[in-house]
């Protein structure tokens, strides 16, 4: 199943296909200059087998903790982080450290321990990088996983469909999983997680079935209104998908989908293609209409004061203190706000 041999500690991750290194450098639109942590460098371990996965087919489909045979533990991860640190020339410019890579990181049997290693690594070196996890949301019912996520700053959690049929068709989950379990797990995470929770939605068409119609948007808006994420990110397919007949969502459909979500007070970002910065719905209706701008500030170089300027829908107003918080570092302000350079 695996490709044999020990994994590379640090290396390049191809834009499509499996990544063979434990840590890798990337430039992320959402997370800035980033180091990725890949817990399955030898074979993709996942609880889904999504039609659009750009890493290729899931090699080990499981709903329970599994390793890929690479035996990653705290010591090996620390060595890989050291290698990434060295390759990045000290990691001073790194803005985020994210568990992502092949498969679903929360399935790794040592996931809680590995999160703790990454957290300690950042703290002991005094690095001002946000620690994040990209997850498909399937393990949020596990106490050990929820507990470990409480140690990170940012979680980006997948929800591609709010109807059972489309969940099965698009994500092809392990038979032990259900959509109710996934959405219930997201609610539980929101109740217990104090960091930034972003929901990631992939919009696409596959063999005549699309998940970006108005009814899909309404169902998604209702499900996410119950969860209460800080942000919702809408994507479409921009890398080679696992199945070649997967088609992108039209940009207009993505914007209409976003407007429905914004109408429910959700804070939506649209990523219609690979290179674009996030778009915001231009005319979010009703209570989703922009009610102001985030006023969070940071001190830039030469003492300049930078202000975030991120548009806030009405629903954000009551939560502004938690979401938009006190003054922050310049790197975080760049990620959140409309300031892309000083
Ligand atoms: S959840 Fe992510 S890694 Fe797993 S199959 Fe889907 S896209 Fe690929």
- Given 258, 288, 318, the domain boundary residue is 288
Residue 171 Cα: closest atom of ligand 1: 6
Residue 103 Cα: closest atom of ligand 1: 3
At 342 the pLDDT is 31
Residue nearest to atom 6 of ligand 1 (CA): 50
At 312 the pLDDT is 47
- Given 288, 307, 323, the domain boundary residue is 288
At 228 the pLDDT is 97
Residue 46 Cα: closest atom of ligand 1: 4
At 40 the pLDDT is 97
Verify that 182 and 330 share a domain, yes or no: no
Residue 136 Cα: closest atom of ligand 1: 1
Give residue 184's domain range.
8-288
For 219-276, what is each residue's pLDDT tens digit?
999 999 999 999 999 999 989 999 999 999 999 999 999 999 999 999 999 998 765 5
CATH of the domain at 57: 3.20.20.70
The total of structural domains in the chain comes to 2
Asked if residue 319 is part of any domain, the answer here is yes
Verify that 26 and 90 share a domain, yes or no: yes
Residue nearest to atom 2 of ligand 1 (CA): 103
Verify that 125 and 262 share a domain, yes or no: yes
What's the 46 CA to ligand 1 centre distance in angstroms? 7
* Residue to substitute in 17, 50, 56 for testing ligand 1 pocket (most ligand atoms within 8 angstroms of CB): 50
Verify that 322 and 230 share a domain, yes or no: no
For 5-41, what is each residue's pLDDT tens digit?
678 999 988 888 899 999 999 888 889 899 999 999 9
**Strand, helix or coil at 266?**
coil
Asked if residue 52 is part of any domain, the answer here is yes
pLDDT band at 192 (very low <50, low <70, confident <90, very high): very high
* Residue to substitute in 40, 48, 235 for testing ligand 1 pocket (most ligand atoms within 8 angstroms of CB): 48
Verify that 132 and 267 share a domain, yes or no: yes
pLDDT over 80 (residue 298): no
pLDDT over 80 (residue 218): yes
- Average pLDDT, stretch 62-78? 97
Residue nearest to atom 5 of ligand 1 (CA): 49
Q: Whole-model pTM?
A: 0.81
Asked if residue 341 is part of any domain, the answer here is yes
pLDDT over 50 (residue 322): no
Asked if residue 2 is part of any domain, the answer here is no
What's the 237 CA to ligand 1 centre distance in angstroms? 13
**How large is the angle between the packed helices 179-192 and 164-171, nearest 10 degrees?**
90
What's the 156 CA to ligand 1 centre distance in angstroms? 13
Pocket of ligand 1 (CB under 6 A): 46, 48-50, 53, 55, 58, 103-104, 136
What's the 39 CA to ligand 1 centre distance in angstroms? 14
Residues 6+ apart with CB under 8 A from 132: 31, 96, 97, 98, 99, 152, 153, 154, 155, 156
At 7 the pLDDT is 86
Give the single-character DSSP code of 309.
-
Asked if residue 29 is part of any domain, the answer here is yes
Verify that 258 and 339 share a domain, yes or no: no
pLDDT over 80 (residue 182): yes
Asked if residue 313 is part of any domain, the answer here is yes
- Given 270, 288, 306, the domain boundary residue is 288
Asked if residue 1 is part of any domain, the answer here is no
What's the 172 CA to ligand 1 centre distance in angstroms? 10
- Which ranges constitute the DSSP H helices of the chain? 74-87, 111-124, 143-149, 164-171, 179-192, 214-227, 251-263, 314-317, 320-323, 330-336
For 147-178, what is each residue's pLDDT tens digit?
999 999 999 999 999 999 999 999 999 999 99
At 305 the pLDDT is 56
Verify that 186 and 311 share a domain, yes or no: no
* Residue to substitute in 101, 103, 201 for testing ligand 1 pocket (most ligand atoms within 8 angstroms of CB): 103
What's the 188 CA to ligand 1 centre distance in angstroms? 22
Strands 96-100 and 32-38, by their bridges, are parallel
For 110-120, what is each residue's pLDDT tens digit?
999 999 999 99
Verify that 148 and 296 share a domain, yes or no: no
Is 181 exposed, middle or buried (CB count within 10 Å of its CB: 0-12, 13-18, 19+)? middle
Verify that 128 and 30 share a domain, yes or no: yes
Verify that 33 and 154 share a domain, yes or no: yes
Mean pLDDT of the chain: 85
Verify that 167 and 312 share a domain, yes or no: no
Asked if residue 3 is part of any domain, the answer here is no
Verify that 191 and 312 share a domain, yes or no: no
């Amino acid at each position: 199943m695996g490709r044999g041999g020990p994994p590379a500690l640090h290396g390049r991750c191809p834009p499509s296909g499996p990544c063979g290194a434990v840590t890798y450098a990337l430039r992320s639109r959402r997370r800035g200059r980033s180091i990725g942590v890949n817990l399955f460098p030898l074979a993709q371990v996942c609880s889904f087998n999504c039609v659009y996965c750009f890493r290729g087919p899931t090699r080990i489909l499981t709903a329970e903790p599994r390793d890929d045979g690479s035996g990653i533990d705290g010591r090996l991860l620390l060595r890989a982080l050291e290698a990434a640190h060295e390759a990045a020339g000290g990691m001073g410019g790194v803005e985020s450290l994210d568990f992502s890579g092949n498969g679903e990181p929360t399935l790794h049997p040592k996931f809680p321990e590995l999160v703790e290693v990454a957290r300690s690594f950042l703290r002991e070196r005094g690095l001002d990088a946000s620690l994040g996890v990209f997850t498909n949301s399937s393990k949020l019912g596990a106490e050990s996983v929820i507990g470990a996520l409480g140690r990170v700053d940012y979680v980006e959690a997948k929800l591609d469909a709010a109807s059972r049929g489309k969940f099965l068709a698009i994500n092809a989950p392990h038979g032990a999983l259900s959509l109710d379990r996934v959405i219930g797990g997201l609610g539980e995470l929101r109740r217990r997680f104090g960091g930034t929770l972003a929901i990631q939605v992939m919009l696409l068409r596959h063999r005549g079935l699309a998940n970006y119609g108005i009814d899909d948007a309404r169902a998604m808006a209702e499900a996410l209104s119950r969860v209460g994420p800080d942000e919702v990110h809408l994507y479409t397919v921009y890398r080679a998908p696992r199945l070649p007949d997967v088609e992108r969502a039209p940009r207009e459909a993505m914007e209409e989908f976003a407007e429905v979500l914004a109408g429910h007070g959700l804070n939506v970002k649209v990523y219609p293609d690979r290179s674009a910065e996030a778009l915001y719905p231009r005319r979010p209706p009703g209570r989703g209409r922009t009610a102001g701008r985030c006023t969070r500030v940071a001190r830039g170089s030469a003492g300049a004061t930078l202000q975030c300027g991120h548009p806030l829908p009405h629903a954000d107003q009551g939560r502004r203190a938690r979401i938009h918080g006190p003054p922050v570092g310049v790197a975080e302000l760049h990620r959140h706000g409309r300031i892309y350079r000083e």
